Amino acid sequence: MKETHKKILRWYEKHGRNELPWRTTEDPYHIYLSEVMLQQTQVKTVLERYYFPFLKKFPTLQSLGTSPLDDILKMWEGLGYYTRAKNLHKTAQILLEEGQIRGSAPALPSSIDELLKLPGIGKNTAHAVAAFAFKKPVPVMEANVKRILCRLHRLVSPTDKTLWESACKMVDTKNPFEYNQAMMDIGAAVCTPKDPDCSTCPLAEVCSGKEEPALYPARKKRTVPSREQHILLHICDGKLSLSQRSGKFLHGLWGFESTNTPLDNAEHIGEVTHAYTHFRLTCHLYLHYEKKPSQEHYFTINEIEKLAISKVDEKIVKRFLDTM
């Protein structure tokens, strides 16, 4: 295993994405933020549009914890999975309160058990923060690493327990930071889902599945269901009504009213579609002109631009403007 570790580290030194900003910092908060942003989101998207602006707005855990949730959701706008942003905020508030009680600045714990107690931090995120921010000798488990482990051991449909056991046996305890980063990069650049480049893989000599890598793991057939909504846009004195969502989906964001039956006097102005990870949404839009306000909140277009709204609501605003 020592020789394999050496090959992995040599590969990482030459081919790894060493320049990524969350790999060149020792700030646990910056590393934690990157791990949360990278859940369900590509590195390119996080790097080009979200990571630096977010840190400029909230440079410390203290600034994050003392800011209104609306400000955080606005900076998260378009990144999706908004529960991540809310959990970041909750975690910062918890750590801020603990710091005030202990008379110290808010700080992330280095223990995996303590990290797991914080909102939104699951096993992999806890391991990642522990390995990358605190150099703990633990493995990280994300999609690329899972694929590598399946091919190394010819695992078709392994359980999470099996994968974690394999990862723990294989981790380089002396160089957990470089090893884990390398494993993720090897999966992203070499041991890819389609057409893996086994000839350049530093794990080729110990890989049991290199003859038929496409068999491991088994591919899951995925169908994306379709959903439809009727969206009612109340307009009064040139202002549109939005309300802050309280349900689990898109909680905390501002949005337009969804209705089962459009009002008889509402004008149909078209449709917008949006693809989420688990379903595709079609919104049928109806405009309802009011002489007197019937809703609680109304906003001008300029005011709406300052609210935290979802991508689909951005599309609805654009469709509305196109009809004017």
Helical H runs in the chain? 2-15, 28-37, 43-45, 51-57, 61-65, 69-76, 83-102, 112-115, 123-134, 143-152, 160-170, 176-189, 301-304, 311-323
Phi (first) and psi of residue 273, to 5 degrees:
-125, 155
Q: Distance between CA atoms of 108 and 115, rounded to whole angstroms?
A: 8
Phi (first) and psi of residue 292, to 5 degrees:
-125, 145
| Cα 189 off chain centre by | 20
58, 67 in Cβ contact below 8 A? yes
Q: Name the DSSP class of 256.
A: P
Residue 217, preceding bond cis, omega within 30 degrees? yes
Neighbours of 93 (CB within 10 A): 18
Residue 35 a catalytic site member? yes
For residue 14 the two structure tokens come to 């030459």
Q: 35, 77, 142, 178: which one is catalytic? A: 35
Q: Distance between CA atoms of 311 and 82, rounded to whole angstroms?
A: 12
Neighbours of 281 (CB within 10 A): 14
| Cα 137 off chain centre by | 25
Q: Distance between CA atoms of 200 and 208, rounded to whole angstroms?
A: 16
* SS3 state of residue 299: strand
Active site residues: 35
